[in-house]
């Protein structure tokens, strides 16, 4: 109960200080009056009685002070009065306040924004119930390099495991929806019956898959995303039980997912995973992505041990068994893994910015403290202790920091919106959680902490220095002789600022050089005026080679006739459209020959190379005459030609490929093209004519004289004219694809570059401020110098040399620090090392130039000093 009284008294002295003071006054006055009464009773005359009583009390005000001290809430009183006084002082120097708050708002704002991203992506739990029990399961150390779980293993685990609450497996599966309006290609998943229960998701409408549906021969059923349900089925609740056509088969809709459900990107359709006996135990076994929910209290180690046991117990005998180790990772780690680096680099960058901003404000405070030196000295002379003065100055800086934090929050809020809008998909993890970046309690806590920390950081150096004013010299007018130690603090701050911005600029410079290097890589094709789109022919309607070839020929002829189209070609997978088809073979066709590959395999139409703009090096392109009836031919990419026939002419040579009807003849060699992105290594590529080998996938490349996007509708119509149930999807210009492939890199560059520029700006402002201060402080000296015959140039040199010496020192330290630090970003670089000399030199030059300008401007003002005015001002 004691603390209640203490708290009550504390709150009283804080919020009812006037009344508390009044009561104290009454209490002491009562005592005084009694003393007077006593003295009167002793026979003193009234005047003397009063005087004697006052003497006995020893000064009412002093007694009051002692009582206030005794209550122990003095510091709070002081704090309140400091905080009450500080805004008035700040308002009196608006330019100081504006610059300081703006610096802090920038520093705290970017920190809060980046922290809110870290919070959303790394700290917040996954949006499923009990996310800590969700684990990702795969295998490591297998000699076939596969990490996915085999279907048969999954089935054994789900039947025999005791440590798992639930286990789920899935495969990606794209499905074509027909029969409701225009056909559409939809991204989906094939999932085991345990998929939604493992995640803990319940349906918005309808039900989850039954285990009888998720097996070979089970009924075809489907679950829709809410967006698909809204878009294609008008949010009709009656969609449950309705039959829809997917890949030309009837599927009954059994459920609709809630809108917030999210798992690995934008998917719209879920169908049961039904493995037949061939896929479970045959030669081509299904490989599945697998995750599970641990039973409460079960550790990952226990689960791994059990899964290992089950796997060896049931599968040792199966012929396709591969040695490997089961690995369990928290699902969260799996989803955000690999995104740590970017976030850590960003966090580091914003921390440096905050330090630079704090150094700026500390310098401003130092300059202000010099002006207030007299005020502080008077307070000290009147008995304010050192700690009292330090507390006053810290209260001021705390208030300043909070002001900065307030403005910083507004800035951070807008930055998170921008961040969400400009970040390319998947930059921040497999699940698109950028949208969930927001300012919550944790972020607010971080901001508060950052602001208080920076308040101490920039408030303490001036507070410690100026709380011990040299009374005599400060009280004398001017007092310029005592500046030297303060000068040193100022210099250290300035060097720190310059050094830190050098580090950030070098980081940004390396990213910029890498970006330019990537853009300068020739993709091997011409991306202008090129429309691309994908078509996936279903096996149901196009079961054989002849029908597929017929479709493609018809389509390409029809598209080529569209006005404005120059060339129309097709290949199974265009560069930058996704997964490559990979093949390996031996150079001489025997099992023990030299292994060639992995090689990208493309089945191309005759006009494909012309449409994409791939240059022919030697030989010829495919022709309409290369058909199923003629002997097989192939075209090699330059790099593959060098692997297969180093230093020889490959045209006319045979390559023993196992998957054609005989060893094909090389008819041509073309340039290498970039497959996955210009910063990826070139992959050797092998082309066969679509007419000689085909699968149901094709990507069209349409080169036109018109803006490529304008052709999209026309091409789509041509497809529907040939097959009204055939959707096209992934319609993009080649330019967009190229652009998209560098989007993550550009995003990183934009963020780090923006932060580096901010750092440069703050540091330049800092240099400018310090030199300006020096110029005003030394106006007197300059006046004397000029009166003695110094020219403007000499004065200019005086200040510029001083500023530049510090800047050079900062640059040197920054370069050394960067040499050690840029290593952390080595994997983000392309075509340069982390210690790229050009970048380092360029950044040094930029910094020296900027600081030179920041010194020059205020120094020039010094030359305008009128010697007479300056000398007389004393």
Site residues (vs other proteins, CB under 8 A): 1-3, 5-6, 9, 23, 26-28, 30-31, 33-34, 37, 56-58, 62-63, 66-73
Residue 38 Cβ, how far from other proteins at the closest point, in Å? Answer: 9
Q: Which residues contact 163 (CB under 8 A, 6 or more apart)?
A: 294, 295, 298, 302, 303, 306, 307
What is the gyration radius of the CA atoms in the chain, in angstroms?
38
Q: In terms of C-beta density within 10 A (0-12 exposed, 13-18 middle, 19 or more buried), how is residue 269 classed?
A: buried
Rounded CA-CA distance 456/475 in Å is 28
Peptide bond into 598 cis (omega under 30): yes
Cα–Cα distance, 112 to 596 (Å, whole number): 52
Q: How far is the CB of 55 from other proteins (least distance, A)?
A: 11
3-state DSSP assignment of residue 702? strand
Write down the least CB distance from residue 51 to other proteins, Å.
Answer: 15
Query: Which one, 67 or 298, has the nearer CB to other proteins?
Result: 67
What three-state secondary structure class fits 645?
Answer: coil
- Shortest distance (Å) from residue 33 CB to other proteins: 7
The count of other CB atoms within 10 Å of the CB of residue 435 is 11
Which among 742, 743, 738, 736 has a CA at the least distance from the CA of 709?
736
Residue 834: count of CB within 10 angstroms of its CB: 20
Residue with tokens 């900062």: 810
At which residue do the structure tokens 């030609």 appear?
Answer: 641
**What minimum distance in Å lies between the beta carbon of 32 and other proteins?**
9
Nearer to other proteins, 57 or 560 (CB): 57
Report the C-alpha gap between 714 and 850 in whole angstroms: 55
**Minimum CB distance to other proteins, residue 436 (Å):** 48
Judged by beta carbon, residue 64 or residue 215, the one nearer other proteins is 64
- The runs of H, that is alpha helices, within 16-58 are 17-41, 46-57
Q: Which long-range contacts (CB under 8 A, 24 or more apart) does 718-725 make?
A: 718/555, 718/558, 718/559, 718/562, 719/535, 719/555, 720/182, 720/183, 721/558, 722/551, 722/554, 722/555, 722/558, 723/541, 723/551, 724/183, 725/176, 725/178, 725/183, 725/248, 725/541
Closest Cα partner for 287 from 146, 148, 155? 148
Nearest residue (CB) to other proteins, 71 versus 735: 71
Q: Which long-range contacts (CB under 8 A, 24 or more apart) does 467-475 make?
A: 467/376, 467/386, 467/387, 467/389, 467/390, 467/393, 468/386, 469/373, 469/376, 469/377, 469/380, 470/377, 471/377, 471/380, 471/381, 474/373, 474/374, 474/376, 474/377, 475/374, 475/377, 475/378, 475/381
Give whichever of 67 and 204 is closer to other proteins, judged by the CB atom.
67
Q: How far is the CB of 50 from other proteins (least distance, A)?
A: 15
* Smallest distance, other proteins to C-beta of residue 34, A: 5
Residues 392 and 400: their CA atoms lie apart, in Å, by 12
Nearest approach in angstroms of CB 766 to other proteins is 46
Distance CA 364, CA 377 (A): 19
In angstroms, the CA 18 to CA 626 distance is 101
Nearer to other proteins, 46 or 625 (CB): 46
Closer to other proteins at the Cβ: 64 or 226? 64
Provide, rounded to whole angstroms, the least separation between the CB of residue 490 and other proteins: 43
Q: Which is nearer to other proteins, 67 or 562 (CB)?
A: 67
> Toward other proteins, which CB reaches closer, 50 or 442?
50
Spatial separation of the C-alpha atoms in residues 138 and 167, rounded to whole Å: 12
In terms of phi and psi (left: phi > 0; alpha: psi -120 to 50; beta: otherwise), the region of 265 is left
Residue (68 or 653) nearer to other proteins, CB: 68
What is the closest distance, in whole angstroms, from the C-beta atom of residue 31 to other proteins in the complex?
Answer: 5
Nearest distance in Å: CB 390, other proteins:
24
Considering Cα of 384, then 386, then 391, then 393, what sign does the dihedral take?
A: positive
3-state SS string for 828-854: HCCCCCCCCHHHHHHHHHHHHHHHHHH
The residue (of 21 and 184) whose beta carbon lies closer to other proteins is 21
Please name which of 340, 349, 352, 341 lies closest in space to residue 752, comparing C-alpha atoms.
349
Q: How far is the CB of 385 from other proteins (least distance, A)?
A: 18
**49, two tokens:** 């009685």
SS3 251: strand
Least Cα distance to 289 among 168, 202, 375, 424 occurs for: 168
Transcribe 331-366 into DSSP letters. HHHHHHTT-HHHHHHHHHHHHHHHHHHHHHHHHHHH
Q: How far apart are the first and last CA of the chain?
A: 63
Q: How far is the CB of 24 from other proteins (least distance, A)?
A: 8
Smaller CB separation from other proteins, 55 or 468? 55
Nearer to other proteins, 55 or 872 (CB): 55
Q: How far is the CB of 72 from other proteins (least distance, A)?
A: 5
Identify which of residues 31 and 746 has a Cβ nearer to other proteins in the complex: 31
Q: Whole-number minimum distance, CB 84 to other proteins, in Å?
A: 23
Which three-class secondary structure state does DSSP give residue 752? helix
DSSP structure class, residue 375: H
Q: How far is the CB of 37 from other proteins (least distance, A)?
A: 8
Looking at the Cβ atoms of 6 and 661, the one nearer to other proteins is: 6
**Nearest residue (CB) to other proteins, 27 versus 236:** 27
Q: Which of 67/448 has CB closer to other proteins?
A: 67
What whole-number distance in Å separates Cα of residue 383 and Cα of residue 63?
16
The minimum distance between CB 102 and other proteins, in angstroms, equals 43
Which of 23, 48 has the CB closer to other proteins?
Answer: 23
């Amino acid at each position: 109960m004691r603390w209640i009284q203490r708290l009550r008294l504390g709150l009283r002295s804080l919020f009812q200080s006037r009344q508390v003071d009044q009561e104290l006054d009454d209490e002491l006055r009562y005592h005084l009056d009694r003393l007077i009464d006593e003295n009167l009773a002793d026979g003193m005359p009234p005047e003397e009685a009063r005087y004697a009583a006052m003497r006995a009390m020893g000064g009412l005000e002093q007694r009051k002070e002692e009582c206030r001290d005794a209550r122990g809430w003095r510091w709070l009183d002081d704090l309140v009065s400091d905080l009450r006084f500080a805004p008035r002082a700040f308002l009196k120097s608006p330019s100081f306040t504006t610059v300081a708050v703006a610096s802090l708002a920038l520093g705290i704002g970017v920190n809060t924004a980046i922290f809110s991203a870290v919070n959303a992506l790394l700290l917040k739990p996954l949006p499923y119930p009990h996310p800590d029990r969700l684990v990702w399961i795969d295998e490591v150390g297998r000699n076939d390099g596969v990490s996915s779980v085999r279907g048969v293993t999954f089935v054994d685990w789900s039947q025999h495991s005791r440590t798992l609450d639930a286990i789920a497996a899935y495969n990606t599966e794209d499905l074509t929806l027909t029969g409701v309006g225009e056909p559409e290609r939809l991204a989906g998943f094939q999932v085991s019956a345990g998929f939604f229960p493992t995640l803990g998701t319940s349906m918005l409408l309808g039900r989850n898959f039954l285990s009888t549906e998720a097996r070979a021969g089970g009924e075809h059923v489907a679950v829709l995303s809410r967006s698909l349900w809204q878009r294609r089925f008008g949010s009709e609740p009656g969609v449950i039980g309705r039959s829809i056509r997917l890949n030309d088969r009837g599927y009954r809709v059994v459920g609709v997912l809630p809108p917030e459900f999210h798992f690995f990107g934008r998917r719209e359709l879920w169908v049961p995973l039904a493995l037949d006996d061939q896929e479970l135990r045959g030669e081509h076994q299904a490989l599945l992505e697998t995750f599970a929910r641990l039973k409460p209290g079960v550790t990952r180690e226990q689960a791994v041990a059990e899964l290992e046991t089950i796997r060896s117990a049931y599968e040792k005998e199966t012929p396709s068994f591969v040695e490997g180790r089961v690995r369990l990772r928290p699902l969260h780690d799996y989803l955000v893994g690999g995104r740590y680096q970017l976030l850590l680099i960003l966090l580091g960058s914003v921390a440096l910015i905050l330090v630079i901003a704090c150094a700026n404000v500390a310098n401003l405070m130092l300059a202000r403290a010099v002006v207030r030196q007299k005020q502080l000295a008077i307070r000290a002379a009147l008995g304010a202790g050192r700690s009292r003065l330090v507390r006053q100055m810290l209260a001021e800086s705390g208030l300043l920091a909070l002001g900065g934090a307030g403005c910083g929050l507004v800035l951070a809020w807008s930055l998170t919106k921008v961040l969400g809008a400009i970040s390319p998909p998947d930059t921040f993890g497999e699940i698109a959680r950028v949208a969930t970046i927001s300012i919550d309690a944790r972020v607010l806590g971080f901001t508060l902490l950052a602001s208080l920390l920076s308040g101490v950081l920039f408030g303490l150096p001036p507070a410690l220095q100026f709380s011990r004013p040299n009374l005599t010299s400060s009280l004398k007018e001017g007092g310029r002789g005592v500046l030297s130690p303060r000068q040193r603090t100022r210099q250290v701050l300035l060097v720190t600022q310059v050094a830190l911005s050098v580090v950030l600029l070098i980081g940004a410079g390396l990213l910029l050089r890498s970006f330019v290097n990537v853009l300068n890589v020739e993709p091997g094709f011409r991306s202008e005026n090129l429309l691309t789109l994908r078509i996936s022919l279903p096996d149901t309607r196009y079961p054989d080679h002849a029908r597929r070839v017929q479709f493609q020929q018809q389509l390409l002829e029809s598209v080529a006739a569209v006005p404005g189209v120059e060339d129309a070609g097709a290949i199974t997978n265009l560069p930058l459209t996704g997964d490559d088809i990979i093949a390996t073979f031996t150079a001489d066709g025997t099992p023990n020959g030299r292994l060639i590959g992995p090689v990208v395999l493309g089945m191309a139409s005759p006009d494909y190379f012309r449409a994409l703009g791939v240059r022919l090096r030697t030989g010829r392109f495919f022709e309409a005459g290369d058909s199923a009836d003629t002997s097989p031919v192939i075209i090699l990419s330059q790099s593959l030609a060098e692997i297969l026939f180093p230093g020889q002419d490959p045209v006319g040579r045979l390559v023993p490929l196992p998957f054609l009807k005989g060893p094909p003849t090389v008819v041509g060699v073309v340039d290498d093209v970039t497959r996955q992105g210009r910063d990826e290594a070139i992959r050797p590529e092998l082309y066969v004519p679509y007419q000689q080998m085909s699968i149901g996938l094709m990507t069209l490349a349409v080169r036109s004289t018109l803006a490529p996007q304008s052709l999209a509708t026309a091409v789509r119509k041509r497809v529907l004219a040939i097959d009204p149930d055939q959707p096209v999807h992934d319609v993009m210009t080649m330019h967009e694809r190229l652009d998209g492939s560098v989007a993550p890199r550009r995003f990183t560059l934009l963020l780090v570059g923006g932060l580096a520029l901010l750092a440069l700006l703050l540091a330049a402002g800092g240099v400018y401020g310090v030199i300006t201060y020096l110029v005003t402080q030394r106006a007197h000296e300059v006046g004397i110098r000029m009166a003695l015959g110094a020219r403007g140039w000499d004065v200019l040199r005086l200040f510029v040399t001083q500023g530049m010496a510090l800047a050079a020192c900062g640059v040197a330290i920054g370069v050394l620090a960067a040499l050690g630090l840029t290593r952390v970003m080595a994997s983000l670089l392309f075509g340069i090392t982390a210690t790229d000399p050009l970048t380092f030199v360029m950044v040094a030059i930029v910094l020296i130039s900027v600081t030179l300008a920041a010194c020059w401007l205020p120094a020039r003002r010094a030359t305008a000093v009128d010697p007479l005015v300056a000398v007389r001002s004393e």
